[in-house]
Amino acid sequence: MKKYNVLVIGDLNVDLILNNIIDLPRIGSEIIANNMQLVLGSSSAIFASNISVLGEEVAFLGKIGSDMFGKVVGDSLVSKKVSTEFIIKNKSLNTGATVVLNYGEDRAMVTYPGAMELLSGNDISDDVLNSANHLHISSIFLQPLLLKDLKDVLSRAKSLGMTTSLDPQWDPSGKWEFDIAQILPYVDVFLPNKKEFLLITGSESLGEGVKKISPFANMVVVKNGSNGSYLWCKNEELTKPAFLNNNIVDCIGAGDSFDAGFISKYIQGRDNSECLEFANLCGGINTTKTGGTGAFESLDMIKEIAVESFGYNF
């Protein structure tokens, strides 16, 4: 018996969200925002919080500073019963932060990556890997040292008997340097969205990308917003529609909630079709409340939203 079902390795930061801003910001002047929230940011943390609320025992490994924002990150994870015992605090670094200037449906963001940028394979011991059955890694392009060590970390996890999943997320540098032949053999479930999948595989279409990736990948699950999702593995190909929501609040974190839904079923050994359907449901549920974790306060709340918004019982 392992201590945790899922170990999450990835980005950690806070989001400072400014809302109801009177005007566009201009250099040399000052404007007022009429609303402000300081919340847990980062895809990996949304994934960890939500899969924990879905009922899994979860631990997080990431890097923060020993500062006020680091405390916000730690407290928020603990409030969702995610263990922070493997989080590395560095006194000489600052916790990452994203300032979000929110204008209705759209937003401008400025991110200071801070400590998370310095997480590397050396920070991830075999003992820590051995504490969990499943390893989920996210946002590798925000963590260049981890990206360099990714094959090593994943192959160690596999040799310790873990199952693995990877959500690459966006590459702000636009380089998309990701060696599919080296890394994907050690990834049981690869979870990009469609744009990321096309850029990583250097393809024009899903079919072309799948052809390129199939010699190396075990399972690829491609998220496609309101068009649902697609799954490919050696002996199966599936497409499932999204759970359409007529009252979308926002889509922040939908992909991370999708991942949480998929992996929660995957580690229970459910078939691919059930994993994909539940993932779409969790992505849809995510869009009914603010941010990535608003709809995932408790299992009762998730079940209630599933029935009320989508007529779905689970």
Ligand X SMILES: Nc1ncnc2c1ncn2[C@@H]1O[C@H](COP(=O)(O)OP(=O)(O)O)[C@@H](O)[C@H]1O
- If the CB atoms of residues 62 and 228 are measured against ligand X, the closer one turns out to be 228
Is 83 one of the binding residues for ligand X (CB under 6 A)? no
Residues near ligand X (CB under 6 A), total: 20
Q: Which of residues 243-272 bind Mg ion (CB under 5 A)?
A: 255
The contact mask relative to Mg ion for 204-243 (x = CB under 5 A, - = no) is ----------------------------------------
Using CB under 6 A, pick the residue from 44, 49, 165, 229 that binds ligand X. 229
Least CB distance to ligand X at residue 242 (A): 4
If one asks whether residue 134 binds ligand X (CB under 6 A), the answer comes out as no
What does the CA dihedral 63, 255, 193, 48 come to, rounded to 10 degrees? 30
CB 151 within 8 A of CB 181: no
Of the two residues 15 and 67, which places its CB atom closer to Mg ion in the complex?
15
Residue 60 near ligand X by CB under 6 A: no
Binding mask 168-197 for ligand X (x = CB under 6 A): -------------------------x----
Binding positions for ligand X, rule: CB under 6 A: 193, 223-226, 228-229, 242-245, 248, 251, 254-255, 258, 280, 283-284, 287
Binding positions for Mg ion, rule: CB under 5 A: 255
